[in-house]
Amino acid sequence: MRIVVIHGPNLNLLGRREPEIYGRVTLAEVDERLAARARDLGSELATFQSNHEGALIDRIQAMVLASPGDDGLIINPGGYTHTSVALRDAIAAVARPAWEVHLSDPDRREAFRHVSLIRDVCTGCVKGRGADGYVTALEALVAHLRADEEA
């Protein structure tokens, strides 16, 4: 079981970007923690970060084109959450279970962050829990895939 973890724009700056909003943990630390939890759950991670909308779409498409062993998707689309129909279309196109994660809670920030174009093509959403949110999404996604396997 392999889970793709996609971090969108500006998440590579984690730890040094507006820490009063996003915290001081770096993306490497988030990924390490997530990888450890994945090992516990007997699953594998493939992580990817880009500031390019097109590169994020390419990586999502790779789930069916180049890397068909990818079973599920965890995505924090950063600023593209609110503006990218193309990203949404990619998630819908690959037809894999997906979870949306946000470090802070976009619903408690500026009005233009209250719309998520990907919310209704994802199974679940965790937000405002910092790095813990990624772990929650991972556990939920693994459970989801196990349930589908058993069914």
The single-letter code of the amino acid at 94 is V
Distances (CA, A) of 86 to 57, 60, 68, 81, 138: 8, 11, 21, 11, 24
Helices 131-150 and 27-40 cross at an angle (nearest 10°) of 30
Determine whether 134 is an active site residue.
no
Applying CB under 8 A, does 89 fall inside the site for its own copies?
Answer: yes
CB of 122 to its own copies, least distance (A): 9
CB nearer to its own copies: pick between 2 and 113: 113
Applying CB under 8 A, does 66 fall inside the site for its own copies?
Answer: no
Report d(CA 110, CA 4) in Å as an integer: 29
* Piece of the chain touching its own copies by CB under 8 A; list 24-32, 67-75, 119-127: 119-127
Applying CB under 8 A, does 26 fall inside the site for its own copies?
Answer: no
Closest alpha carbon to 34 in 140, 147, 144, 136: 136
- Size of interface with its own copies, in residues (CB under 8 A): 59
Using the rule CB under 8 A, which residue among 4, 5, 49, 78 binds its own copies?
78
Q: Which residues are catalytic?
A: 22, 102
